[in-house]
Amino acid sequence: MICYLSATTSCTSREYTQSHSGARTTNHTLSDIAYETFNQFAKVYGDRYLTSNVQIINPATNQFEYIGHQYRYFTTRMGLRVMAMGFLYDFTGNSNVSRVIHANDTIAQPWFKAAVNYTQPIDLFIMLGHNPARTTVSSSTFGTYYNAIRKARPDIPIQVFGGTYI
């Protein structure tokens, strides 16, 4: 199952257009079709396929690699400068060829700190994921990411697109 964030369904901005839409992984892609996701979906979406906390063993190198990109910085046609990231909740039922880096470990990663403190101006952070958007849901990890971003960048809006049935 691949999830796709359509720009035209954005609650807050019509300028987040199709060319800036993002796709992200779900727990289903880590069990049944992990390598199909790695070899096909992520390649099709390119830097729009965001897997900020999910890695897979690359069969060519036998090393863990991110399935997609950890983050994406872009500017919309109307000049809005956006930093986007995609997170899977702290899933533990993945296959042995993939791993989910838990939220508390992800926010300590150098790439996460670099994205939050990006050298270019940021007008908006977008977090999307197969992750409950409501932080009061026990399985949601968006609160961990939100708090880490808010601590470093208290004045920049954060928009969350998430959901799952858990």
Are 117 and 125 within 8 A, CB to CB?
A: no
The least confident of 4-8, 82-86, 162-166 is 4-8
Report yes or no: 78 and 43 within 8 Å, Cβ to Cβ: no
CA distance 158 to 123: 9
Strands 71-75, 3-5: pairing is unpaired
How many CB atoms sit inside 10 A of residue 82's CB? 20
Q: What are 73-126's pLDDT values in tens digits?
A: 999 999 999 999 998 887 776 777 888 899 999 999 999 999 999 999 999 999
Please tell me the distance from the alpha carbon of residue 2 to that of residue 105, in angstroms, as a whole number.
Answer: 24
Q: What is the pTM of this model?
A: 0.75
- At 35 the pLDDT is 55
Given a cut of 60, whether residue 11 has pLDDT beyond it is no
Q: Residue 8's CB: how many other CB atoms inside 10 A?
A: 9
**Pairwise pLDDT comparison (63 vs 133), residue with the higher score:** 63
All domains of the chain in start order, with CATH: 3-162 (3.60.21.10)
DSSP 34-87: HHHIIIIIHHHHGGGEE-TTEEEEETTTTEEEESSBSEEEEE-TT--EEEEEE-
Q: Within 13 A of 74's CA, how many CA atoms are on the CB side?
A: 18
Q: Which helix (H) or strand (E) holds 129?
A: strand 124-129
- The whole-number pLDDT of residue 33 equals 54
Q: Does position 54 have pLDDT exceeding 90, yes or no?
A: no
Distant-in-sequence, close-in-space partners of 161: CB < 8 Å, separation ≥ 6: 5, 126, 127, 128, 129, 133
Q: What is the mean pLDDT of residues 15-34?
A: 43
Pairing of strands 3-5, 22-24: antiparallel
